[in-house]
Amino acid sequence: AHGVIGPFELDPITRMSLENILSSGASRFPVRHFRDQNDPHPRDLQIHVTQDHVKVVHPGAERGSSEVLAPYSADYPKVIIHPLDTCKFRLELSEEQDKVYHFVALSRTSRDLIALLIRCFHARQYVATAFILSRLFQNPATPGAPLTSVAHYDLDIERLGDRLGKELNRNVAQLESVEKVVRNANLEKRELQAQLGETINSYTEAIEKLHQQLTPAAKGGAAASLQLQIHDARATNSRLQLELQELRPALEEEKQRSAGDDVDGPAAQARARAVEAFRAEITQLRSSISKLAGNAEQYSQRDMTISNELRRLRGDVESLNREKEGLEKCIGQADKEKSDLIENFLYVKGCLDKLQMASLASPAA
């Protein structure tokens, strides 16, 4: 008599967890190890299940870490599930008695995942590909033989097709959203480039005008002419001061000579008019000197204002260039994501096409 166990019916969450672990290729499970049935002090161990071997790790802070490794062979490792307890199982790594472990998993789901994962990896190592193909397709060596039918529990084409269809729809929706984002990004990029071009042109014109205004000053223009005028005015003032000093003794002599004369005579009036004329000329020269000094200060303040404006405009141009570089990086990232989604979409579409062809070629379909 032969007993057959299976196929196993898994709940969707456990099935998804098993598929994810199989795709990753390895996983770790914490368990409790009992040396016998009445062990009062069980140990906390870990089972590492990979595609090449099964490893039992003994973690310990004092004595370090020790491990027992068992590669997949024809008979080992074995997982024997307890018939009554939903968490207990026995793991046999070899024929040696010290490599037979009695474990208690944290939950039933954890125990089932350990057993199924070890059996799946073991089957990958020791189930021949020809055997699997012979169960699915016709043997070319025996033409005319009927095709091997696939049981519904071995390959659920409808479920797989629904899942791939949902994944395809999800990828298509993601692709459409990415294309929309890329279109918006390209539109914003064009608008920003246009605005940036206009801003750069306006700033360039302003800078050129400022350069044109500053070029004569740099070559000795208005500021230099003002300096020359101030220098000439100062020289004239010095000359007039000397003339005034020379005229004062003569004026004193004339006053002494005319001390006995009539103060209202023609000579006295002429001298008074000459003195008033000299004083008016001196006052006019002083006012012109002060005016020229004020103009020089005004031009100096204007030059400082222009320099500050130039620095500000250069800072704005640099910030706009940095913003442009950031937008170009964002567009490059969006293009990369778009290409990745297109590749995923084509891959899923190819898988769906293959699945549809297989379902059409299968008698069960």
Tell me the β-bridge partners of 78.
92
Token pair in block for residue 277:
């004329």
Whether residues 181 and 309 fall in one domain: yes
Compute the C-alpha angle 61/63/65, nearest 5°.
75
- Say how far apart CA 313 and CA 311 lie, in whole Å: 5
* Alpha helices (H) along the chain: 12-24, 108-126, 129-136, 157-218, 222-257, 266-361
> Is residue 77 a part of any domain in this protein?
yes
**CA–CA separation, 15 and 279 (whole Å):** 113
| Range ranked top by mean pLDDT from 141-150, 278-287, 308-317 | 308-317
Q: What is the mean pLDDT of residues 286-304?
A: 78
Compute the C-alpha angle 127/130/134, nearest 5°: 110
- pLDDT tens for 87-117 read 889 898 888 888 888 899 988 888 888 988 8
Q: Select from 318, 113, 114 the least CA-distant residue to 203.
A: 318
Q: Give the pLDDT confidence score for residue 41 in this predicted structure.
A: 83
Instruction: Report yes or no on 238 lying in a domain.
Output: yes
Quote the mean pLDDT of the chain: 78
Cα 30 → chain centroid: 37
Q: Is residue 156 a part of any domain in this protein?
A: no
Furthest-apart CA atoms within the chain: distance in Å: 168
Q: How far apart are CA 64 and CA 15, in angstroms?
A: 36
For residue 60, name the pLDDT band (cuts at 50, 70, 90). Answer: low
Please write the tens of the pLDDT for every residue from 122-173.
887 766 555 555 555 555 555 555 555 544 445 567 777 787 888 888 888 8
- Which one has a higher pLDDT value, 278 or 327? 327
Judge whether 362 lies within some domain. Answer: no
**Domain range holding 342?**
171-354
Q: Are residues 199 and 89 in the same domain?
A: no
The angle, 0 to 180 degrees and rounded to 10, between the axes of the packed helices 222-257 and 157-218 is 30
Threshold 0.75, pTM exceeds: no
Distance, in Å, from the CA atom of 70 to the CA atom of 188, rounded to the nearest integer, reads 60
Tell me the sheet residues that pair with 26. 50
Q: Look at residue 142 and tell me if it is in a domain.
A: no
Residues 119 and 208 in one domain: no
Q: Are residues 208 and 320 in the same domain?
A: yes
pLDDT at 150: 45
139 lies in some domain: no
Separation between Cα atoms, residue 168 and residue 146, nearest integer Å:
34
Q: Are 33 and 66 in contact (CB under 8 A)?
A: no
Structure tokens at 162: 């629904």
Q: Looking at residue 252, which CATH number applies to its domain?
A: 1.10.287
Contact yes or no for 124/51 (Cβ under 8 A): yes
Q: Are residues 104 and 214 in the same domain?
A: no
Rounded Cα distance between 362 and 158, Å, is: 13
Say whether both 179 and 327 belong to one domain: yes
Band (pLDDT 50/70/90 cuts) for residue 349 is confident
Asked, for residue 84, whether it belongs to a domain, the answer is yes
